[in-house]
Structure 1
Amino acid sequence: MTEQPGVPQGERRPSRDSGDERPSWAPPALDEPRMQSALRSLELTVRGRLDGLLQGNHLGLVPGPGTEPGEARTYQPGDDVRRMDWAVTARMAEPHIRQTEADRELETWVALDLSASLDFGSAACDKRELAIAALAAVTHLTSGGGNRIGTVLDNGSGHVRLPARGGLAHSRAMLKKVAETPRAQAGTRGDLNALLESLRRPPRRRGLAVVISDFVGGLDWQRALRGLSARHSLLAIEVLDPRDIELPDVGTVVLSDPETGKQREVRTTPVLRKEFAAAAAAHREEVAAALRRAGCAHLVLRTDSDWIADIVRFVMARKRGWSGGAA
């Protein structure tokens, strides 16, 4: 697991109650009334900024093919050859593909990584809070019309499965259950590959599979992701913090791997900062390449940016790309 920066030597990390800028919907250690209030605030934030902007396509997050046969059209470079209509191709003496229409009901499954590496943040929120916010956005964008959503989550101590159901009451109960999941204990290693395999087997109805993680660590999850792509449209939401990408110039700092508990005190020299940034960039590119090979749409959310604006830009670009417009 890639090491993450901890508290600079001689400094104290600000507490959650010290006036730091935190998302209003995600205060720590919530009792029941505050939990309900926080989740309601998150729901209003998502609905208030997404409603009216992303209406139109049935599969809002990943517009694309369904399973119902549609019209045939001439093959264009970049089309999926698996959709080739050989009967029409033979009759017209020109390659044609068979378009498909979206199903009338969409079943969405979310694999939510809540391992110890997400219990870290140096900006407005930590990565865990951003992952829960991403789940809320996915829930909102795929709800309605008889659609269902379920979640499989793992904080390193075992999988928790929340069955796919529809309705606002289910969505709220699901988000509450996820938010109440205990944080991973120090030294607990997550297993993204096993989490994805839990979605792959047993096979589920064709639909949308969403993976929310920071994708820190090895890439042993690639095979499971490719297996999911055989039946589902895929979306990967990568949650990042600025300290995942570069080290600040703060002198002596303690680097900690939250999933092994190992720590190392180093001095953030220009050479070290340059090597850290290069290694982080290389890992991010490896992750992006693995997602592309699996045919997975890729959305990056950062703790230091407007995550809802990032979602809007992503969805609008996907819609324009699918409709033939400029991305």
Structure 2
Amino acid sequence: MADVHGPVALDSARAEVVLNRMQLLVTRKLDGLLQGDYLGLLPGPGTEAGESREYRPGDDVRRMDWPVTARTTLPHVRQTVADRELETWLAVDLSASLDFGTAKYLKRDLAIAAAAAVSHLTVRGGNRIGAVVGTASELTRLPARPGRKDAQGLLRTIALTPPRPGRADLGALIDMLNRPPRRRGMVVVISDFMTPVSQWARPLRKLGVRHDLLAVEVVDPRELELPNVGVIALVDPETGSMHEVQTADAKLRHRYAHAAAAQRAEIASAIRGANASHLRLRTDSDWLLDIVRFVAAQRHARTRGTTR
């Protein structure tokens, strides 16, 4: 029993159908969630200085307005105004490990879906979107351009990126958005983060200092726990090596689940340490519903004065 899908490259016709369907789904579900003066996917306050108001529990202490606080003897924070134009960058990891899926989708499908949702939510009013795409053999930069037509072209390029055996350097991919420094904006990193945290945590923290940062983690349920189905053949999509595992062994399943939980906890901790929002998409869940819930929760948190 092989519990893995082989690499699947989208041809032009299929890519067009998939992207059009995603666009329709995203438009129906997400339009109307972000009406008002919000910045991008994560409805935030922007960077331009605005008026001051009294501090409320949950406000970011980095926005304390100390002169007003001293004059009034009450803590105040400086409100900021959303930027008129937003520049959004996607860092899309298309390593061979994303050509895997044991449920409704491949992880690669979810990566493209997340890119489509971010594109739809941010490309309006002159906003620009660009991307860096990583495969095992190369890192590609797609320049940021305004307009839905260019955004659709960018998504087609991502969807048609051919799968290659091996692992992209996630740290180098993220660092492409640190050098050269860009104007403040929004950065979305889409990956399964299945590389040592030490390789990408520092570049991610650097991004979080300057930008509104979102990490989209794509996960397959077999990466979290093994089913009890007897002998299962697992193929590593990055190396091609195959291992047969006896899943009837309860101790082995427990050790696997424990190690997987520890790995995911380390990933989540590194993402929090970068001051990034964290969205997890699973191949056995409704990805669009997960995105809708995430965006709604972010808006609710922002309107209550919290930052994450």
TM-score normalized by structure 1? 0.87
Separation in 2, partners of 1:260, 1:15: 12
1:214 paired to 2:192: yes
Kept after mapping to 1: 8 A contact 2:94/2:134: yes
C-alpha spacing 1:256/1:43, structure 2 compared with 1 (3 Å): same
**1:117 maps to 2:112:** no
> For residues 196 and 251 of structure 2, what CA distance do their matches in structure 1 show?
25
CA RMSD of aligned residues (A): 2.2
1:123-162 matches, within 5 Å, as 123-162=103-142
- What 5-or-longer segments of structure 1 have no aligned partner? 1-5, 17-27
Q: Which moved more, 1:137-146 or 1:258-267?
A: 258-267
Q: Distance in 2 between matches of 1:41 and 1:133?
A: 10
Deviations 1:124-165 (A, max 9, x none): 110001100110000001111111110001011111111111
CA distance in 2, matches of 1:60, 1:209: 10
Q: Distance in 2 between matches of 1:315 and 1:202?
A: 29
In structure 2, C-alpha distance between the alignment counterparts of 1:90 and 1:219, rounded to whole Å: 43
2:76 pairs with 96, 100, 108, which one? 96
Contact kept? 1:70, 1:101, Cα under 8 Å: yes
Once the two structures are TM-superposed, the CA of residue 38 in structure 1 deviates from its matched residue by 2.9
Aligned to 2:264: 284
Q: Which residue of 2 aligns with 1:305?
A: 285
Aligned to 2:167: 189
Does residue 251 (structure 1) correspond to residue 245 (structure 2)? The answer is no
Rounded Cα–Cα distance in structure 2 between residues aligned with 1:46 and 1:239: 18
Match of 2:220 in 1: 241
- Which residue of structure 1 aligns with residue 67 of structure 2? 87
Counterpart code for 1:251 = G
Evaluate the alpha carbon distance shift between residue 57 and residue 253 of structure 1 in structure 2; reply closer, same or farther with a 3 A threshold.
farther
Q: Does 1:226 align with 2:205?
A: yes
Determine if contact 1:210/1:234 at 8 Å carries over to the other structure.
yes
Task: Mark the CA change 1:292 to 1:302 in structure 2 (over 3 Å): closer, same or farther.
Answer: same
Gaps of 5+ in 2: none
Distance (Å, rounded) in 1 between the aligned partners of 2:236 and 2:14? 31
For each residue in 1:216-250, what CA deviation from the matched residue of structure 2 results, as whole angstroms up to 9, or x when unmatched?
A: 12102111111111210100111111111111111
1:161–1:288 CA distance, 2 compared to 1 (3 A)? same
1:19 alignment counterpart: none
User: How far has the Cα of 1:275 moved from its partner?
Assistant: 1.1
Q: Is the counterpart of residue 315 in structure 1 residue 295 in structure 2? A: yes
Instruction: Verify the 8 A CA contact 2:105 2:283 in the aligned structure 1.
Output: yes
Contact 1:60–1:315 under 8 Å retained in 2: no
Answer whether contact 1:54 1:312 (CA < 8 A) is retained: no
Match of 1:22 in 2: none
Pairwise CA distance, 1:61 = 2.0
97 and 212 in structure 1: CA distance in 2 versus 1, 3 angstrom threshold: same
2:215 and 2:277 in contact (8 A); partners too? yes
Q: How many residues align?
A: 305
Q: Give 3-state SS (helix, strand or coil) of 2:137's partner.
A: coil
State the match for 1:58 in structure 2.
38
Going from structure 1 to structure 2, the CA distance change for 1:30 and 1:156 (only over 3 Å counts) comes to: closer
- Helix, strand or coil for the counterpart of 1:200? coil
CA–CA separation in structure 2 for the residues paired with 1:191 and 1:53: 35
* Correspondent of 1:264 among 219, 222, 243: 243
Match of 2:276 in 1: 296
Provide the secondary structure at the position in 1 that maps to 2:289: helix
Q: Does 1:38 align with 2:18?
A: yes
Structure 2 residue 161 is matched with structure 1 residue 166: no
Query: CA shift at 1:73, angstroms?
Result: 2.1
